[in-house]
Structure 1
Amino acid sequence: MNKYARGIIAGLVATAVLSMMMFAKGKMGVMPELDIIAMLAGKMGGAAMMGWAAHFMIGAILYGVGFVVLYNLLPGKGAVAKGALFGVLGWLMMMLLVMPMMGMGMFAMSMGMMAAGMTLVLHIIFGAVLGFVYAKLA
């Protein structure tokens, strides 16, 4: 299997793990206003299914392929550490580009500091899973 296919599969698995954490967050009633799926769906003018489809495409393709492309440039020892750092880079892009486009301000400040902190933790876990699965598929 080539490295890009491994990256996409790893991104898909990491996105599934992230999705389960997001689902659990919602069921526990933690920050219900931080609903990335609803935000994506709203920007695309579609139903929640459109948001979920975009979420999985971003995670599997954008993050999966992006991780492969940047892998050798990322500092760190091992794929899990590189993945966690890659997750932090993705979080920064989300906080500086995506959240302002969604009307939440930089670092989602309209929702308070907890939104930035929560999304950072989720991105680090996502990245670590991405790196772990990528390495296991080698």
Structure 2
Amino acid sequence: MSSSSIHIKQGLIAGFWATVVLSMIMVMKAMMGLMPNMNPIADIVHVFDMFTGMQAGMMVGWLGHFFIGTVAWGILYSLLVNKLPGGGLMKGLIFGAIAWMAMMVIFMPLAGQGFFGMKEGIMAMMATLMLHMVYGAVLGLVYAKLTAHR
């Protein structure tokens, strides 16, 4: 197995665990009734429905959420990690901010939430930033741990 494919595998593993932690926080947030209007899983379903003309359920939203967090961001992180400054935590936080920016300028408008999700207000924008910082921190720390022996 080549070095780059090993790093991609580690990016996938780190992306998965970061997505698990992020998902647990999202579920707890929903159970506590915090920011009830903000539902990124429903937004994924909305975008899927819009592009396919189908009516998908929440399972598609969760699968999309895990695909984005594990596969898309995990692979992209493994490809960019050596270009990011700092140690594992800092690299992850920077990447989390990049992922958040992509969500704000690409995904949120597609989901009908407006540029930077402003349809939901400033608190939703800040909450998604914090969630992406947690995601990035876990991603960076897990990836650093998995690659430390190399």
Question: How much has 1:74 moved relative to structure 2?
Answer: 1.2
For residue 61 of structure 1, what is the aligned residue in structure 2?
71
Alignment of 1:44-83 (within 5 A): 44=48, 45-75=55-85, 77-83=86-92
Aligned length: 137
For residue 118 of structure 1, what is the aligned residue in structure 2?
127
Higher Cα radius of gyration: 2
Listed as ranges, the gaps of 5+ residues in structure 2 are 49-54
Aligned match for 1:3, one of 7, 32, 44: 7
Question: How much has 1:42 moved relative to structure 2?
Answer: 2.5
TM-score normalised by length of structure 2: 0.88
What is the identity, as a one-letter code, of the residue corresponding to 1:21? Answer: I
What is the identity, as a one-letter code, of the residue corresponding to 1:78? Answer: G
Query: How big is the alpha-carbon RMSD for the aligned residues of Structure 1 and Structure 2?
Result: 1.0
Distance in 2 between the 1:103 and 1:9 partners?
Answer: 31
Paired residue secondary structure (1:31): coil
Report percent identity of matched pairs: 45
> For each residue in 1:23-71, what CA deviation from the matched residue of structure 2 results, as whole angstroms up to 9, or x when unmatched?
0110010111110111112222310000000000100011101101111
Paired residue secondary structure (1:110): coil
> For each residue in 1:102-132, what CA deviation from the matched residue of structure 2 results, as whole angstroms up to 9, or x when unmatched?
1111111111100110000000110010011
Alignment of 1:1-138 (within 5 A): 2-44=6-48, 45-75=55-85, 77-138=86-147
Paired residue secondary structure (2:17): helix
What is the identity, as a one-letter code, of the residue corresponding to 2:133? Answer: I
Paired residue secondary structure (2:45): helix
Task: Assess if the C-alpha contact under 8 Å between 2:47 and 2:110 holds in 1.
Answer: no
| 4+ aligned runs moved over 6 Å, structure 1 | none
Paired residue secondary structure (2:68): helix
Distance in 2 between the 1:95 and 1:26 partners?
Answer: 20
Distance in 2 between the 1:79 and 1:117 partners?
Answer: 23
Distance in 2 between the 1:15 and 1:68 partners?
Answer: 15
Listed as ranges, the gaps of 5+ residues in structure 1 are none
